[in-house]
Each structure stands twice: as structure tokens, then as C-alpha cells.
A = this chain, B = another copy of it.
Amino acid sequence: MSSEPTHQNIHTFDQATALQPAGPHHWKGQPGRLYWNMVGPFGGTTAATLLHAVLLHPERIGEPAALTVNYAAPLADLPFVLEARPLRTNRSSQHWLLLMTQVDTEGQTITVASGTAVTALRRGTWAGSELPHPPVTPAENLSPRPPTAGLAWSERYDLRLLDGDLPTAWDGAHADDSLTRLWIQDLPPRPIDFLSLAAMSDMFYPRIWRRRALRTPAGTVSMTVYFHADQAALAAAGSGPLLGEARGQEYRHGFFDQRAQLWSADGTIMTTTHQLVYFRD
């Protein structure tokens, strides 16, 4: 795990989620190729980019509590416009609308992503958990998974698998469950913040690949992230790594859903997340 900063001392993740102001409630940017996946940027960086506009908004109150991102079309590596608009501001919470558009090859403006967010002022209350940190091998005792050739985003993360790695052969050997556990860290390391939590919540490859051992087409349609970390939990998590766990739930008629959660190394839940994924046979 190198700690050497990249290009111009700006971390690749900050380059990939950068926004420029473009008038009230609007920002502009371009995905770039740093986190490119098969047919577009890694969905996690898109989610982080949408959330970034909320964090930059001058009217924002509070910290992220909920984020839903719907992936309407693959993003091109072309400029986008992002609208982040507060729909409702309560005393201690705020509701946001998120819309990202690009101009397609025919000159049409199309919605490539939409979403909503809730920000909220956090306060001390009773606390509890029903998601205990499983006993696992520490990250330092494991080796990083080699990046996947041709997938830029896989070079941006140090992933250390505990259970449920990608099948070693795409031979259709059916598995009964799709549990994956792994350690996740930015490469090079970067202090965990709400943006990297949003991105890392989308870190789990499609569960159906694990169930079927067939590399069929699959892509996230909608992802929801609930943020349980506050600034103190972010500071305590440092630059990670975080422990992630994901499981598939129901697979039918071209869609399945999977749930996941991220813990800090000291056992604090950072996010819980749920996503709907389309697949083809």
C-alpha cells in the first residue's frame, strides 16, 4: 500500500469526483477514465459525485444520512451537468433532489443518473447495533487482490478477500450463497470521508456472478446508502481499511438485489447499503 500521492498531489478519487460551480444549484464535471469500469465509470464514483454536489451546496445543513442513486444510462467520458436542489429544509434535516445529465452523440440532453439525499444534524442518542463485526483475519495478514487487466478502477483500490472472491473458473458451478467479505482501502490510502463511503458501498461485484459462476452482463440500477458514521467516526477510521460484507437476496426476472455494510477496522458500522442489479442470462 503506497502512500505516495498521485498526479499534481490530488488523489485520483478527488480528481474523479471533482465539480465546478455552474450557477445556483448546478455543477459541472467530467467522469474521466481514472475509475473506468467496463462500459462507463465505476458506479461508486458516480454516487460520490452526486453526493459531492450536496456537500458543496452553500445551503446545506448537516451531514449525509441517506443517498439513493439511480443509474439511468452509462455515463460517457464527456462533460455532465449536475443539479443538486434542496427540496425541503426542516429544523435538523434537509431533503435533496439530484439530477445528472449529459448531451448524447445525437445532441440530445439525457438524464444519466438521478437520485435523492437526506442530510441531517447528528446528535447524541442511545446507540446499538445488530450487525456485529465478524471475527476476521486483519488486513495486514492478507495479500491484495491483483488488479483486473483493463479495469482502471480495480487499480484504485486495495482489496483483500476474506470470503467469497470472484469464482476461480467461470464454469457455471452453482453456489448456494453469495457472501463476500473483504478489506477495502483507497490506493493510495486517502482519509475516509462521506464521498469514499458512498463509493466503497458499491464495491461488491454482482452477487449473481458468485451464485452462478457465469460472467453474465449485470449492472446496478439503483443503490441506496445509509450513513451511520459522523465526523468523529470518520476521523477514527483514518484512511482505512474498512471491512465490507455483501449478500444477495432475491434473483428473478432479470433483477436481483444485494445488501451490504461497511465497518471500520475497530468495528464501527460506517454505512449500510442495498442495491438493485439487472442481469441477463
List A residues at the B interface (Cβ < 8 Å): 65-66, 68, 70, 72-73, 87-88, 90, 93, 95, 97, 99, 110-112, 114-116, 118, 120, 122-131, 177-178, 208, 211-212, 221-222, 224, 226, 228, 230, 247-257, 259, 261, 269, 272, 274, 276, 278-281
Q: Report Cα–Cα, A281/B73, bound state, in Å.
A: 43
Question: In the complex, are the beta carbons of A116 and B118 less than 8 A apart?
Answer: no
**B residues within 8 A CB of A122?**
253-255
- Which listed residue (B114, B130, B230) contacts A97, Cβ 8 A? B114
Question: Closest Cβ of chain B: how far from A88's Cβ, in Å?
Answer: 4
**B residues within 8 A CB of A253?**
122-125, 127, 228, 230
Question: Closest Cβ of chain B: how far from A18's Cβ, in Å?
Answer: 24
- Which listed residue (B126, B254, B272) contacts A250, Cβ 8 A? B272
**B residues within 8 A CB of A211?**
128
**B residues within 8 A CB of A269?**
249-250, 252
Q: Report Cα–Cα, A256/B128, bound state, in Å.
A: 9
Question: In the complex, are the beta carbons of B95 and A70 less than 8 A apart?
Answer: yes
- Which listed residue (B111, B228, B274, B281) contacts A259, Cβ 8 A? B274
